[in-house]
Chain A
Amino acid sequence: MVDEETFAQLIDAVDRFVEERLIPAEPRVEAEDEIPPEIVSQMREMGLYGLTIPEEYGGLGLSMSQEVRLVERLCRASLAFRSLIGTNLGIGSQGILMDGTEEQKAHWLPRLASGEVTASFALTEPDYGSDAAHIRTSARRDGNDFVINGVKRYITNAPRAGVFTLMARTNPDDPGAGGVTAFLVPADAPGLELGPPDRKMGQRGAKTCDVRLTDVRVPQDAIIGGPRNEGKGFRTAMKVLDRGRIHISAVAVGTAQRMLDEALRYAMERVQFGKPIVEHQLVQALLADSQAELLAARAMVRETAALYDREGRAQLEASACKLFCTEMAGRVADRAVQVHGGAGYMAEYPVERLYRDVRLLRIYEGTSQIQQMLVARQMARRAAR
């Protein structure tokens, strides 16, 4: 938690970086499917990798409420930039922070905060996505070590990662959540191989690929939280994802704001039937509906983040928030393209790309359907109490 006055300065610095460096680099990222190395080092120098890591480990230690406000500003630029640091802010690092041992925190967190090391989160497998409790990657105990075998799919930042927060089944007799353990697996562990980069619909410059593990040996101390946390990995993963959902909601609000800004600018310039299209009522409806939903989503993210700061959890609210905010961003994307007419379908205009980029938000870290399921389940559980 940073004091408000300093936080305002952080926001100013991020705004300026977004305007002067990130947004101008977007066409290059799109063309080359890579974030230019000088931008990566500038993001590192800015301290962006360490936003959520506590100050004692070299980060900024933002509260969830501050994180969502800052991430929202950052995500006015292409989501590929957010993806680069996203796993260090959230799913890659939070497991260590929430459940790690003191040694694990002291070893990894300063490196993650500085951006020296990128952490990835490896849960999904070819046969188990939404049904993550049933993952099959196995970690077989061998003395004081574990030997890991399996395949992880669509792993964000795997090509850049120095370490994986990786979920594997340590108890073959428990096929469900209770048999899963979270490990910290260094990327250079013998037997760990990366697949070719995935060819994606959007977010060019963001990287995912398969991670194949063949007899990868790690000591039992690689279990997040140490050996006593064997069998608790699914819980760690779910806590990480809970928090991640609030973060993704802020991402959705930020990118929706960008798309709406683009749509409004175009609508004020484009003239049809003798007047700027912003004066045509049906175009106004596209803009106004987007604005209203965007304001609602922003308020919802901030409220949920404040709840998380107060209570350390917000399961129902975080799921509801991710559901609403990412679906909202999808609708805003669709309307922003519509406002642009044919231009919205052309690569010369940012909305064409933003439309493709934003599609992912409704899929990863739990699809919209999974969020609906989680929300309803929590509602019933609370009502039954």
Chain B
Amino acid sequence: MKVLVPVKRVIDYNVKVRVKADGSGVDLANVKMSMNPFDEIAVEEAIRLKEKGVATEVVAVSIGVKQAQETLRTALAMGADRAILIEAAEDVTQDIEPLAVAKLLKAVVEEEQPGLVIAGKQAIDNDMNATGQMLAALLGWPQATFASELKIEGDHAVVTREVDGGLQTVKVKLPAIVTADLRLNEPRYASLPNIMKAKKKPLEVKTPADYGVDVSPRLTVVSTSEPPARKAGVKVADVAELVSKLKNEAGVL
């Protein structure tokens, strides 16, 4: 079985994100970019399936700027077999919306015929949480989102999902879309020798035109703002004062 893993290049999770002065978006100039952490989990899961002999090939796909090649190289260094880059954006400020991404992925799926697509549950830049679901809809495939455990049983995937307040286990027929949640696994580090080997693995470059997909935006960002600054705290003299403040000012007791 072939497994397809879409990966997105996003602002590194350690970077403190700043909103541009004019509120038109976040400042991406000279900011460290990395693979979306949920996508790393997805790649790891696919590689584990291959190591278990369940998957035969792992293909990573990225849609975005040219530099997303680096993200794909990371996936290859972790253990993916080959990669496809769809160069759809001129520069980092141009975000490709989930629907366009899902349409492109649909085209890739039709070409590659994977038995399973594992995606991250969401990208940490825009937190849309939509691409996997849209792809399932476009393909008419079953989906199991927010996976915290994945088992392949015959021609089905048994997926434990993290839902509010508990776990739900679903069984979906393959081919299917699974989206990875935080606790699915702990991704490995790409080792240095594997980073070196990754440069020799195949990486194909395509454009949206190759798939006949229009990626122009449908959404307009009206404004972007930082969360309100945290106000300074106060020091209390003793427990009595703390209790009184919690009761009378904070109203939590």
Binding site for B on A (CB under 8 A): 2-3, 5-6, 9-10, 12-14, 16-17, 19, 42, 45-48, 50-51, 55, 58, 60
**Chain B residues bordering chain A, tally (CB within 8 A):** 15
B189 touches A60 (CB 8 A): no
A3 touches B199 (CB 8 A): yes
A13 touches B195 (CB 8 A): yes
Q: Any chain A CB within 8 A of the CB of B246?
A: no
Counting chain A CB atoms within 10 Å of each CB, which of B70, B73, B192, B194 scores highest? B192
Minimum CB–CB distance from B67 to chain A (whole Å) comes to 10
Q: A9-B74, A9-B77 are in contact. Are A48 and B196 (CB under 8 A)?
A: no
A13 touches B196 (CB 8 A): no
| Selected contact of A6 from candidates B14, B189, B199, CB within 8 Å | B199
B189 touches A10 (CB 8 A): no
Cα of A3 to Cα of B195 in the assembled complex, Å: 12
Residues in chain A near residue B189, CB distance under 8 A: 13, 16-17, 42, 45-46
Q: Can you list 27 A-B pairs with a CB-CB distance of less than 8 A?
A: A2-B196, A6-B196, A6-B199, A9-B70, A9-B73, A9-B77, A9-B190, A10-B192, A10-B196, A13-B77, A13-B189, A13-B190, A13-B191, A13-B195, A14-B192, A17-B189, A45-B189, A45-B191, A46-B189, A46-B192, A47-B194, A50-B192, A50-B193, A51-B192, A58-B193, A60-B192, A60-B193
Cα of A189 to Cα of B243 in the assembled complex, Å: 71
Minimum CB–CB distance from A61 to chain B (whole Å) comes to 9
A9 touches B195 (CB 8 A): yes
Minimum CB–CB distance from B60 to chain A (whole Å) comes to 15
Minimum CB–CB distance from A268 to chain B (whole Å) comes to 15
Starting from the known contacts A9-B195, A45-B189, A50-B193, 7 additional A-B residue pairs (CB-CB under 8 Å) come to A3-B199, A6-B195, A10-B192, A10-B195, A10-B196, A13-B189, A13-B190
Q: A9-B74, A9-B77 are in contact. Are A48 and B192 (CB under 8 A)?
A: yes
Minimum CB–CB distance from B190 to chain A (whole Å) comes to 6
Q: Interface code B10-28, partner A: CB below 8 Å = 1, 0 otherwise?
A: 0000100000000000000
Cα of A296 to Cα of B193 in the assembled complex, Å: 32
Q: A9-B70, A9-B77 are in contact. Are A60 and B196 (CB under 8 A)?
A: yes
Residues in chain A near residue B77, CB distance under 8 A: 9, 13
Cα of A9 to Cα of B74 in the assembled complex, Å: 8
Cα of A352 to Cα of B95 in the assembled complex, Å: 47
| Selected contact of A46 from candidates B34, B191, B196, CB within 8 Å | B191
B199 touches A47 (CB 8 A): no
- The count of A-to-B residue pairs whose CB atoms sit within 8 angstroms is 46
A47 touches B191 (CB 8 A): yes
Q: Interface code B179-219, partner A: CB below 8 Å = 1, 0 otherwise?
A: 00000000001111111100100000000000000000000
Residues in chain B near residue A55, CB distance under 8 A: 196
Cα of A363 to Cα of B192 in the assembled complex, Å: 31
Q: Closest 3 interchain pairs by CB?
A: A47-B192, A47-B193, A47-B191
Cα of A347 to Cα of B199 in the assembled complex, Å: 44
Residues in chain B near residue A3, CB distance under 8 A: 199
Residues in chain A near residue B195, CB distance under 8 A: 6, 9-10, 13
Closest-by-CB residue of A relative to B192 is A47
Cα of A42 to Cα of B190 in the assembled complex, Å: 11
Residues in chain B near residue A45, CB distance under 8 A: 189, 191
Closest-by-CB residue of B relative to A60 is B192
Closest-by-CB residue of B relative to A17 is B189
Closest-by-CB residue of A relative to B77 is A9
Minimum CB–CB distance from B48 to chain A (whole Å) comes to 16
Cα of A277 to Cα of B74 in the assembled complex, Å: 42
Cα of A73 to Cα of B96 in the assembled complex, Å: 34
Q: Which of B45-94 contact A (CB under 8 A)?
A: 70, 73-74, 77
Cα of A2 to Cα of B191 in the assembled complex, Å: 15
Closest-by-CB residue of B relative to A62 is B192
Counting chain B CB atoms within 10 Å of each CB, which of A3, A9, A17, A42 scores highest? A9
Cα of A5 to Cα of B73 in the assembled complex, Å: 11
A13 touches B192 (CB 8 A): yes
Cα of A55 to Cα of B193 in the assembled complex, Å: 9
Cα of A165 to Cα of B159 in the assembled complex, Å: 54
Minimum CB–CB distance from A17 to chain B (whole Å) comes to 6
Cα of A45 to Cα of B190 in the assembled complex, Å: 9
Residues in chain A near residue B73, CB distance under 8 A: 9
Residues in chain B near residue A48, CB distance under 8 A: 192
Cα of A60 to Cα of B192 in the assembled complex, Å: 8
Minimum CB–CB distance from A153 to chain B (whole Å) comes to 34
Cα of A9 to Cα of B33 in the assembled complex, Å: 12
Minimum CB–CB distance from A67 to chain B (whole Å) comes to 12
Minimum CB–CB distance from A73 to chain B (whole Å) comes to 12
Closest-by-CB residue of B relative to A70 is B192
Minimum CB–CB distance from B13 to chain A (whole Å) comes to 11
